[in-house]
Amino acid sequence: MTGDVATLEEAVSRIDSGSSIATGLALEHSIPFAAGHELLRQGIDDLTLIGPISDLLFDQLIGGGAVAGVRAAWAGNVSAGTGYRFREAIETGAITVEDHSNFSIALALQAGAMGVPYLPTKSLLGSDIFERSDLFREGTDPFGGDRLALVPAIEPDWAIVHAQRASPAGDAHLWGNTGITEPAIGAADNVLVTAEEIVSPEVIKSDPSRVAITRDAVTAVAECPFGAHPSPVAGYYNRDNEYYLEYSGQTKTQAAFEEWAEKWVYGVTDRAEYETLVERELGITDPTIAAEVQYGQ
């Protein structure tokens, strides 16, 4: 595959209802909230969300009625504990949940990227995972005879990733915490990259070691400044801590969530209009500049 530049609306429209989507893969960093909100605006639903420490984006998609299931290690509001839309959906049985550890979700995606049916680990053996789920299997190391937990592969229909910059072809620079972005991209059938900037290929080529995503994996790329707010993007803007606390207070009921979403999701036409709603200054005020790197010829 070679990515092609699209508007965010066009790119997201390629995702079908019923798809499985891996996202929020860089943990609390660079979460593609803009793409998630576009999913809600387009009414793309019946989704299965896949991720590690899944932040508010999962909660918002659940509140918007877009989610059938979650495969994750944790979901909620990092700043305030629970995500009320996630919690209520669990209590009412509106969604299914497949419990993972952070490591097992990473292993499952790595297995998908490698094209193998499962990967073994010992890390789950001290937990009650086998009592809570029939997803995992017990096995025996054929070389040493040790007991193992077998984690089945996950191959998402889509991975959605937000990067600092990308070329029109889809080669992307992503720095800071990247979490499990790499295995998820390898495991997914399709990859949507949203980027703070679309830049010339020469900019990407100038720092090849920072290329975390290459065009062969990318289905579509969309320029989307401020596309990860309220999460931070290294080098572009800081985390909006107040947003997380305000969201918690404003979404305790479904009716309250819908009022919140009418302003923040359905009440804006694009990310530029969304940005006008944010009253806090989140720009980088004390940048840390990396030492220059010489590649030579």
Please report the domains of the chain, with CATH numbers, ordered by start residue: 4-108+156-275 (3.40.1080.10), 120-152 (no CATH)
Q: Of 242, 224, 235, 228, whose CA–CA distance to 285 is shortest?
A: 235
Lowest mean pLDDT among 14-18, 186-190, 276-280: 276-280
**CA pair distance 265, 284, nearest whole angstrom:** 25
Cα–Cα distance, 45 to 90 (Å, whole number): 17
The answer to whether 240 touches 278, Cβ cutoff 8 Å, is: yes
Strands 20-22 and 47-54: parallel
Can you give the pLDDT at residue 80? 86
Please list, residue by residue across 135-160, b when 16 or more beta carbons sit within 10 angstroms of its beta carbon and e when fewer do. bbeeeeeeeeeeebbbbbbbbbbbbb
Residue 244's H or E segment, with its range, is helix 241-250
- Res 184 pLDDT > 80: yes
Residue-wise pLDDT for 279-288, tens only, equals 888 888 777 8
CA–CA distance, 133 with 156 (Å, rounded to integer): 20
User: Half-sphere exposure (CA, 13 Å, Cβ side) for 277?
Assistant: 20
Task: Report d(CA 32, CA 149) in Å as an integer.
Answer: 32
Residues 204, 207, 210, 213, CA torsion sign = positive
d(CA 110, CA 187): 7
From the CB of residue 17, how many other CB atoms can be counted at a distance below 10 Å? 13
Cβ neighbours for 127, distance < 8 A, ≥ 6 positions apart: 101
Calculate the alpha carbon distances from 122 to 16, 104, 112, 116 in Å: 36, 10, 19, 18
- Alpha-carbon gap, residue 17 to 122, rounded angstroms: 36
Residue 15: count other Cβ atoms within 10 Å of its Cβ.
22
Q: Under 8 Å CB-to-CB from 181, ≥6 apart: which residues?
A: 25, 26, 159, 161, 174, 212, 213
pLDDT tens, position by position, 91-143: 999 999 999 999 999 999 999 999 999 999 999 998 888 888 889 999 999 99
Name the maximum alpha-carbon separation found in the chain.
Answer: 62
pLDDT tens readout for residues 209-234? 999 999 999 999 999 999 999 999 99
**Mean predicted lDDT score pLDDT of the chain:** 94
Cβ 251 vs Cβ 63: under 8 Å: yes
- Residue 109 to residues 22, 32, 283, Cα–Cα distance (Å): 9, 19, 33
Q: Look at residue 2 in the predicted model and tell me its pLDDT.
A: 59
User: What's the pLDDT band for 239 if we cut at 50, 70, 90?
Assistant: very high
pLDDT band at 1 (very low <50, low <70, confident <90, very high): low
> How is residue 61 written in tokens?
């998609």
Q: For residue 272, what are its two tokens? A: 């530029």
